Structure 1
Amino acid sequence: MSSSNIPATTDSLFQASEAKTPAEAISILYGILEDPSSSSEALRIKEQAITNLSDLLRQEGRAQDLQNLLTKLRPFFSLIPKAKTAKIVRVIVDAVAKIPGTSDLQIALCKEIVQWTRAEKRTFLRQRIEARLAALLMENKEYVEALNLLSGLIKEVRRLDDKLLLVEIDLLESKLHFSLRNLPKAKAALTAARTAANAIYVPPAQQGTIDLQSGILHAEEKDYKTAYSYFFEAFEAFNALEDPQAIYSLKYMLLCKIMVNQADDVAGIISSPKVGLQYQGPELDA
């Protein structure tokens, strides 16, 4: 969808923000993107218009239009730095991901982006989209395709020594092997993720994911006491971030207590102001 060209100015952005309906705002923002100007100010305004447009299309559930927008923006991407392109691509992919029932479209979109990034030799962006694609394939239970994608990606990223991305894909590989019931390979991949993580600053959410996966693997080996300690670390990280994974970590904590015959501790944990009180409800009822 496009609209007649509208000047890429702050006034136009304001006009879109004051529009009476989402459809009107969307039309104005598309119009801003049609402005042929490529001055630094016009490019800055267009970047903001893309962010605003992505958010509106997400709110309206227009996933296909978001995919089309990404294709439409390719000429624009040649005018801005690669880092800004990567940011915009992630904004649009994230917007699609927030629309329910779009897993197949997300996979198709990521494959399309990977193809484009290969042609454009945009390695940094391609690697991150491939990691995301592997995660989507795993969620879709397409484990073999996900592993095939990861195997090449891991070798490439190790050569580049991009440790933060390496942590992400090693973790993903661990989850994939666990889904395929290959515990030794799941543990080896997790060890690789921890080794890479020890050399850099890892964001709290990523550290929480490492601890959660560690707990799951220890629980699988029936080492419930060690698993509990990892689940607790994961819970604290996710809880501080108000991340939905906090409730899963808490459930695993409670399950570990039950498995070591300490079920009496469960009520205390659930009623604890620091831990379970805020999560009381149907999800914890058993």
Structure 2
Amino acid sequence: MSSSIILQARQLVIDKNYNDAELLYHNILYSDGNNENKLSNDYSIQEKEESILDLGHLYKLTSNSEKLHSLILKSTEVLSIIAKSKISKIIRQLIDLFNFIPDSIDTQILSLKEAISWASKEKRSFLTQSLQLKLAQLYYKKFYFNDALNLTNSLSSHLRKLDDKNTLIEVQLLQSKIYYNLKNFSKSKASLTSARTSANSIYCSSKLQADLDCMSGILHCQDNDFETAFSYFYEAFENLNSLNWSKESESQIIKILKYILLTKIMLNKNDDIIQILSNKLITSSKSIQNNLKQFDAIKKISIAYNQKSLENFQKILNDNSNEFSNDYLIKSNFKTLYHQLLEQNLLKIIKPYSCIEISYISRLIKLDETFIESKLSQMILDNVFYGVLDQGNGWLYIYDENKIDKNYGSALQLIKEMSKSVNLLYEKATVLN
């Protein structure tokens, strides 16, 4: 049962009198509230546990990441005599509080490194691995991909020995994400396959299953298999939707819904987008309704692409650059759509002509002349159309596609057979001589 001093401190927190509450919690933990070097013996271990967690929440409320970092270090000293499982749980809870403090990732990384060092020294292997996984996830968030990869490689070998499949799946999934961001798609697929193989032999939570399905969908998008990608994204959406929504799952659901809409655009099934956004699951969700602007932008992209309007497409991309540029999958596929649309518009312009000025094309399409010249050159090399660029005069010559006479193939085959017969006759004549 909580002591009166803890209840008093909690009331002070409710009243937003944070400084006085902090001093009361310090009095429980330390013999002199202002001296953190002298541990108090006047209170029970349970009271100290409660004080540490309450103090952590106080620092979360005041967004004081530095004091939370200091508390994590001190908690190992204060609680060094209690059971290993309890102190491990407390440290993990304190580390997780950083998630609610803005711009605290760097401090969280520092706290994790120091906590890992302490756990290793105390030979608390399960806590060490749990904290290392958390550190690798933060490295990934900060785009420190090589650091994250080194840590996950070391972790996976230890986890295989311990046969800790739950944690191993999370590590392999994280490796898949890291390799994907490093553009090593073959290794990303291999890591995901390993994670799925491990997941088949144990029960996986809905959240973990949704993460696996989402990553599968992303890799299928990379292979331009958007039908299969849609199926995986929809599975992930349903798995996450079955959970109680948290801030983290809410952002994940919104991201997956964007990917679902993306697959429909890539499949040129624009009518399905309106149908998906009218789904009861989506219309009844306040969180999704509050983020409709993001989906409206994708819907506008779909309309512009369907209307073959390059100008509108470019305008929507520019107006929503912040929303699209932070996601590699959306950004790369919209870039593909843009270049497809550009090619379609260029072909439409040059179709009536045998010779046309590049400057004229540039004026019609409202894009830089050098960029248009480069794009036309690429299209010629890719055999999109037959033509020649006269860079001296700034002209483009367009030729009709060369029609291949089917008789050429038959004539070549006949010559080949005749050559074989002549060679055979020559060999026989040589033997006779």
- Considering the TM-score relative to the shorter chain, is it more than 0.5? yes
Structure 1 segment 33-48 matched on structure 2, within 5 A:
33-34=29-30, 36-37=40-41, 42-48=44-50
Match of 2:406 in 1: none
Write the distance in 2 (CA, Å) between the matches of 1:215 and 1:38: 57
Please say if 1:14 is aligned against 2:14. Answer: no
Moved over 6 A (4+): none
Please say if 1:254 is aligned against 2:282. Answer: no
- Alignment partner for residue 278 of structure 2, among 246, 249, 271? 271
Match of 2:58 in 1: 56
CA shift for structure 1 position 240: 2.6
What letter matches 2:114 in structure 1?
A: E
Please say if 1:25 is aligned against 2:11. Answer: no
Match of 1:79 in 2: 81
RMSD across aligned positions (CA): 1.7
Write the distance in 1 (CA, Å) between the matches of 2:166 and 2:26: 35
The answer on whether the counterparts of 1:270 and 1:277 sit within 8 Å (CA) in structure 2 is no
In the TM superposition, what whole-angstrom CA distance separates every residue of 1:211-265 from its partner, at most 9, and x where no partner exists? 1111111111111111111111111122232222111111100110111111110
The answer on whether the counterparts of 2:49 and 2:79 sit within 8 Å (CA) in structure 1 is no
What is the number of equivalent residue pairs in this alignment? 277
The answer on whether the counterparts of 1:33 and 1:46 sit within 8 Å (CA) in structure 2 is yes
TM-score (norm 2): 0.62
Match of 1:4 in 2: none
What letter matches 1:37 in structure 2?
A: N
Write the distance in 2 (CA, Å) between the matches of 1:219 and 1:209: 15
In the TM superposition, what whole-angstrom CA distance separates every residue of 1:85-104 from its partner, at most 9, and x where no partner exists? 11111111111222111111
In the TM superposition, what whole-angstrom CA distance separates every residue of 1:176-212 from its partner, at most 9, and x where no partner exists? 0001011111111111111222222212111111111
The answer on whether the counterparts of 2:52 and 2:75 sit within 8 Å (CA) in structure 1 is no
The answer on whether the counterparts of 2:6 and 2:25 sit within 8 Å (CA) in structure 1 is yes
- Alignment partner for residue 155 of structure 2, among 145, 153, 162? 153
What letter matches 1:194 in structure 2?
A: R
The answer on whether the counterparts of 2:179 and 2:187 sit within 8 Å (CA) in structure 1 is yes
Larger relative contact order (Cα-Cα within 8 Å, sequence gap ≥ 6): 1
Secondary structure at the counterpart of residue 285 of structure 1: helix
Unaligned runs of 5+ in 2: 32-39, 298-433
Q: State the identity as a percent.
A: 38
CA shift for structure 1 position 276: 5.1
CA shift for structure 1 position 38: 8.2
The answer on whether the counterparts of 1:269 and 1:276 sit within 8 Å (CA) in structure 2 is no
CA shift for structure 1 position 275: 3.4
- Alignment partner for residue 293 of structure 2, among 262, 269, 282? 282
User: Whose Rg is larger?
Assistant: 2
CA shift for structure 1 position 283: 2.0
What letter matches 1:227 in structure 2?
A: A
In the TM superposition, what whole-angstrom CA distance separates every residue of 1:156-184 from its partner, at most 9, and x where no partner exists? 01100001110110110000000101111
Secondary structure at the counterpart of residue 116 of structure 2: helix
Secondary structure at the counterpart of residue 296 of structure 2: coil
Which one has a larger percent strand, Structure 1 or Structure 2?
A: 2
The answer on whether the counterparts of 1:208 and 1:237 sit within 8 Å (CA) in structure 2 is yes
Write the distance in 2 (CA, Å) between the matches of 1:151 and 1:75: 31
Secondary structure at the counterpart of residue 205 of structure 1: helix
